[in-house]
Amino acid sequence: MAQSSFKQYLRSLRWTPIPVGVGLALIAFQQFRHTRKREAARLGQVDPCDCLADEWEVEAYKLLPLRQFSKAWGWVNGLELPEWSRKSVLGLYVRTFGCNMAEAEVEDLGKYRCLSELFRRSLKEGARPIDPSAALVSPADGKIMSFGTVNCGALDQVKGVSYSLRKFLGPNCWSAGGPMVVTKRDDDDCFHRTCLSDGENNALYQCVVYLAPGDYHRFHSCVDWKVAFRRHFPGELLSVNPSIAAWVRDLFVLNERVSYVGKWKYGFFSMTAVGATNVGSIQVYFDEELKTNDASTRKTVFRDKYFDDRLVELSRGSAFGEFNLGSTIVLVFEAPKGTKACVEVGQQVRMGQALFRIPHSYVGKTLDETQHQGPQR
């Protein structure tokens, strides 16, 4: 009872930003405590949920001026460097984060005018071959944070910690019946079922790929699919580093994110780019209207855009967008029951590498051919 009253008191307070140094010191102290707890969880001595931050700790973390800091970092990244300093400044970044410049289309660091151009560098042709045997390939270079089936509308953030699919994607406006298809707003399992076009033969699957600062920062389509609409959640800009993901409950629900929803040959498909601290912006090549980390959108819960005026059809491996610094891609999709993952949690993957394989899959068929044939039996 006392704890509940204390939480109500915290919510009633008028929160104001605290000095960055104070906030970082607090986070460092709490991270030290939770690091010890996570190690105990890894050894099976405590439950992973016991390692999560308390509500007041998350609120204190959110008080840091992370959005302003990210804007400033984006401005610094865009500053043009003098030619004489480029190799030394950019070389320091390359060595620190282990960037492989041998596979970059432009290897000479002196050709990059700023840090932002280095982050968004293109690769040589053939550097990322697409696995032809996979039903779904990795959209980016990065580390697998979680994968598997979606159970009763719950997604895995990390092992032992889940969050709501309904809260992550928002109201279902893509299924027949529009936004009112879910009559019980708090029913995650009901929301889960509305995403399936063939609930008897198919299931929902999910995969989370974390892009580190040294990774290739562009992301690509991982299947052949058609995009129906986009939903932009302004949200927070908390770090999505795996250690923070194991500490902050509902991290991907709290953070700014852009979800693209549509259909592939097996039904529902969504691809979400999640913002993070120091990610100045998320750019999507076919969606020029998208503006992230924008003050004008902060007071809105989310904003939708339908692509009715033009068809957005993407093929496997085609360029989708880019981050100005490492972040996270969350995939949620419908596929036949029995679909098998080709990866492990913590595994490093490269764009185009197989993530999931479907038994007796017909990867070569187009979306239109599959729709004419009907659901697989």
- Which residues have a catalytic role annotated? 141, 220, 327
Nearest CA-CA partner of 119 in 307, 6, 349, 280: 280
> Tokens 């005026």 belong to which residue?
309
Q: How far is CA 333 from CA 205, 275, 373, 377, in A?
A: 5, 20, 20, 18
* Burial state string for 317-327 with b = 16 or more CB within 10 A and e = fewer than 16: beebbbbbbbb
